[in-house]
Amino acid sequence: MDQQDVNPIDRQWLKKLLQKHHNSLPDEQQQTHSALVAKYPILRDKALVVAPMVEQSDLPFRILCRKYGANICFTPMIHARFFVKKKSYREKMFRFARLKQDQPLIAQICGNNKEVLLEAAKMLEGYVDAIDINCGCPTKTAKRGRYGAFLLESRDYLVDIVRYLVDNLTIPLTVKVRLLSQGLEESLKLYRKLANVGISMLTVHGRTRSQKGEETGKADWHAIKNVVECVGDQISVIANGGISNLDDVRECLEYTGADGVMSSESILEYPALFSDTGTKAVNFKRTGPGRVAMTREYLQLCKEHPPHAGGGGTEFQCIQMHMQVFLHADFRNEQKLSNALFEARDLNGFQDIMNQVESIQSTNNHSVENERLSWYVRHRESSDNDKG
| pLDDT tens-digit series, residues 45-79 | 999 999 999 889 999 999 999 999 999 999 999 99
pLDDT tens digits, one per residue of 322-362:
999 999 999 998 999 999 999 998 999 999 999 999 999 99
Residue 43's contacts (CB-CB under 8 Å, 6 or more residues apart) are 36, 37, 249, 250, 253
- Best CA proximity match to 218, nearest among 380, 3, 11: 380
- Domain 3-276: give its CATH code: 3.20.20.70
pLDDT, residue 92, reads 87
pLDDT, residue 91, reads 87
pLDDT, residue 380, reads 63
pLDDT tens digits, one per residue of 94-145:
989 889 889 999 999 999 999 999 999 999 999 999 999 999 887 788 878 8
pLDDT tens digits, one per residue of 178-189:
999 899 999 999
Q: Is 137 a catalytic residue?
A: yes
- Kindly give the interhelix angle for 221-231 and 184-196, rounded to the nearest 10 degrees: 40
Q: Which residues are annotated as a binding site?
A: 52-54, 108, 176, 205, 240-242
pLDDT, residue 211, reads 55
| Whether 239 contacts 204, CB under 8 Å | yes
> Can you tell me the distance from the alpha carbon of 171 to that of 335, in angstroms, rounded to the nearest whole number?
47
Higher pLDDT, 220 or 315: 220
Q: What is the pTM of this model?
A: 0.93
- How many other C-beta atoms lie within 10 A of the C-beta of residue 216? 17
Which among 137, 230, 252, 302 is annotated as catalytic?
137
> Can you tell me the distance from the alpha carbon of 224 to that of 229, in angstroms, rounded to the nearest whole number?
9
Q: Which residues are annotated as a binding site for FMN?
A: 52-54, 108, 176, 205, 240-242
